A and B are shown apart, each in its own frame.
Chain A
Amino acid sequence: MSAGGEPAVAGGAVAPNKIIAFGILGGLIGIYAAHFLDSMISPVFSFMGALGAICAIVWGADAVRRVCSYGLGTGVPSIGMLALGMGVVASMFGLAVGGIAGPIIAFVSAAIIGLIIGVLANKVLGMNIPIMEQSMVEIAGAGALTIVGLSTTMAGTFMFEEVLTFVIAPGYIAVIFIAGGMGILHPFNACLGPDEHQDRTLTLGFEKGGIAMVIAGLVSAVAGSAAMLPTIMIGVFIWYTSFAKFYELTKRDSYKILGSGLLPSEEELQ
């Protein structure tokens, strides 16, 4: 049984295709802008990578939301971890062999890994979720772009040498893995239920992306402190505005928000 009532195919005000485009284009533009502006104008611009990662996180959260509405109650955290698991393999491979095309190769190889996992889940394990293959491709792609985006902000570039020195060897890849993964899985996990709304869930995606951005900004101090303050400040701004928006939407959607009080009476529950 799905936690929170009948499994319904999740719809939403924003069509999946728009969010997919937002995630892919936003993610890649952010990553490349960070890389080029960083080397051409100023290292300050490496915060763009984290903005790209936020686009990917929101896309991933929407993909999780669509696939998990098929009754994957307790599977939501697992699918988020799976996303980053596929993403980390693909992004390391892509960045290591790709050079300047690294993020794109990472993204494509993530999509291939995702497709294989999706086919295995549906055909071999027999999960029979109609959108499984597409969702796995999306989730893996979002995971890969999240990792590359945050790594770019931390290292100032996505060139493998620097990423290896500033992100992987000092272990910061661990925090990318978990903060990115939680950004993708937590929004739907927190908003699970029959009265879930897309805008509220995705606002939470922005909020958790903001936290990941703050962390990436903090780590960028190791590679050079120029990008640290702008990245942290933009991250805190995104976090604050989306948190305020989330609270507003919670007030809109919840049955009642009470300062305090006793439980609803029997008559009220009828």
Chain B
Amino acid sequence: MEPLIGMGVLALMGAAATVAGASEDLESDVGSQSNPNSQVQLAPQMMYPHRIYNKAISGEPPSNALMCAIGGTTASVLMTAYSMSPLFAIAMGALFAAIVHGSYSISAFLGRPASQKRFKQPVYLDVLRSHTPVIMGYSYITTFCILVVSYLMIAVLGHPFPLPLLAFIWGITVGAIGSSTGDVHYGAEREFQNVEFGAGLNAANSGNIVRTAESGLRNGIDNSWFCAKFGGPVTGIAFGMTVFLSGWVTTVFNPAASLTMGWLSVVAGVILVLIMIIWNRKIEVAARAAFGPYKEDEVAA
């Protein structure tokens, strides 16, 4: 394969991954999955009932792995057994995955408040009806983009893994990156806008999440609106960079060409990781200098 085509495919994969990362984070924000979930779950117990969609499907990596594996499986079956075009098969796979994800979201939304009857958290059906299609929409975009990335890796870059397995692995990855990168924006900031910025979560504030919006009562779509400004895009960039850079080292230094090239790709990878570590450290120090200092008693709490 021409190196230039390889780079082009890699750029396309990076772009698809960026969209997947952003939509994955926003999908989890609409339903308060993962990081912010424990506080949304805790709030009614602390006498703070709310109108926020609480979607405890599982951690984000398994739930994204589920929808991507289902999408990859459906697409693979349609391509193998019915010789459908890849684009159509991927679209159908993503559709089926979104429907299954919607079913999982609904059962999680209904299950938890019903198991917390004593804390008097009502089940609001209008929240269910308005949020579930949004969640399904985002999960469609995520699955579609992950399947595009996986399909390009197999069809163009010649990756040996089959589509469902590769989609499964990328699903876990996008879930893990969304959980660690984007959710912090929602869990640490959006939920606790009523305390000083950077204060951390004092035990006394547990469950005391912000329940009122700019107008009326806050819901999950308000949260995704907020997170679309920073958390979603930053997750997209993180995931896009992961896909692009991890592919870039082996495209520029192709291990198939020679052993030396293989080692050079390892060295390039290590250099990239080192640059990232130093860069992250610089950002953290700069952020502490600009927004700190963090107070001693709050660290202890």
Contact = CB atoms under 8 A, between A and B. Distances in A.
Interface of A: 3-5, 73-74, 76-77, 80-81, 169-175, 177-179, 181-182, 185-186, 189-197, 200, 204, 207-208, 211, 215, 218-219, 221-222, 225, 239, 243, 246-247, 249-250, 253-264, 268-269
B165 A174 contact: yes
A219 B73 contact: yes
A250 B66 contact: no
A169 B162 contact: yes
Interface residues of B, number: 58
Contacts of A257: 122-123, 125
A68 to B, nearest CB: 12
B69 A260 contact: no
Nearest to A5: B45
Given A170-B164, A178-B62, A269 B120 contact: yes
B41 interface: yes
A194 B118 contact: yes
A227 B300 CA distance: 61
Given A191-B111, A204-B107, 19 more contacts: A4-B115, A77-B59, A171-B72, A171-B76, A171-B163, A173-B165, A174-B167, A175-B70, A178-B69, A181-B62, A185-B58, A190-B108, A195-B114, A197-B115, A208-B107, A215-B73, A218-B74, A253-B115, A258-B124
B36 to A, nearest CB: 13
Contact of B58 (A73, A77, A211, A250): A77
Interface in B161-195: 161-168
Contact of B217 (A173, A186, A219, A262): A262
A269 B120 CA distance: 7
Contacts of A196: 115
A185 B66 CA distance: 13
Interface stretch (B23-31, B47-55, B235-243, B290-298): B47-55
A190 B107 contact: yes
Given A77-B59, A215-B73, A191 B114 contact: yes
A171 B73 CA distance: 8
List the 8 shortest-distance A-B pairs measured between CB atoms, nearest first: A193-B115, A171-B162, A171-B165, A190-B111, A174-B168, A171-B164, A77-B58, A254-B114
Main secondary structure, interface of A, reads: helix
Interface of B: 38, 41-42, 45, 47, 49-51, 56-59, 62-63, 65-66, 69-70, 72-74, 76-77, 80-82, 100, 103-104, 107-108, 110-126, 161-168, 211, 217
B123 A250 contact: yes
Contact of B103 (A172, A194, A211): A211
B111 A204 contact: yes
A171 B166 contact: yes
Contacts of A185: 58, 62
Contacts of A186: 57-58, 104, 107-108
Main secondary structure, interface of B, reads: helix
Contacts of A207: 103, 107
A80 B66 CA distance: 13
B102 to A, nearest CB: 11
B126 A260 contact: yes
Given A77-B62, A169-B162, A222 B81 contact: yes
Given A3-B41, A196-B115, A255-B113, A175 B72 contact: yes
A30 B65 CA distance: 27
A268 B49 CA distance: 11
A192 B56 contact: yes
Contacts of B81: 221-222, 225
Contacts of A175: 69-70, 72-73, 164, 168
Q: Which has the most chain A C-beta neighbours within 10 Å: B62, B82, B115?
A: B115
A268 B44 CA distance: 13
A256 to B, nearest CB: 4
Q: Which has the most chain A C-beta neighbours within 10 Å: B51, B112, B163?
A: B112
Nearest to B64: A178
Nearest to B51: A263
B192 to A, nearest CB: 19
A129 to B, nearest CB: 21
A175 B77 CA distance: 12
A4 B41 CA distance: 8
A222 B80 contact: yes
Contacts of B63: 182
B164 A250 contact: no
28 contacts: A4-B115, A77-B62, A169-B162, A172-B73, A172-B164, A174-B69, A174-B72, A175-B164, A179-B69, A185-B62, A190-B57, A192-B111, A192-B112, A193-B112, A194-B116, A195-B114, A195-B116, A195-B118, A207-B103, A207-B107, A215-B70, A215-B73, A221-B82, A253-B117, A256-B123, A259-B125, A263-B49, A269-B47
Contacts of B168: 171, 174-175, 177-178
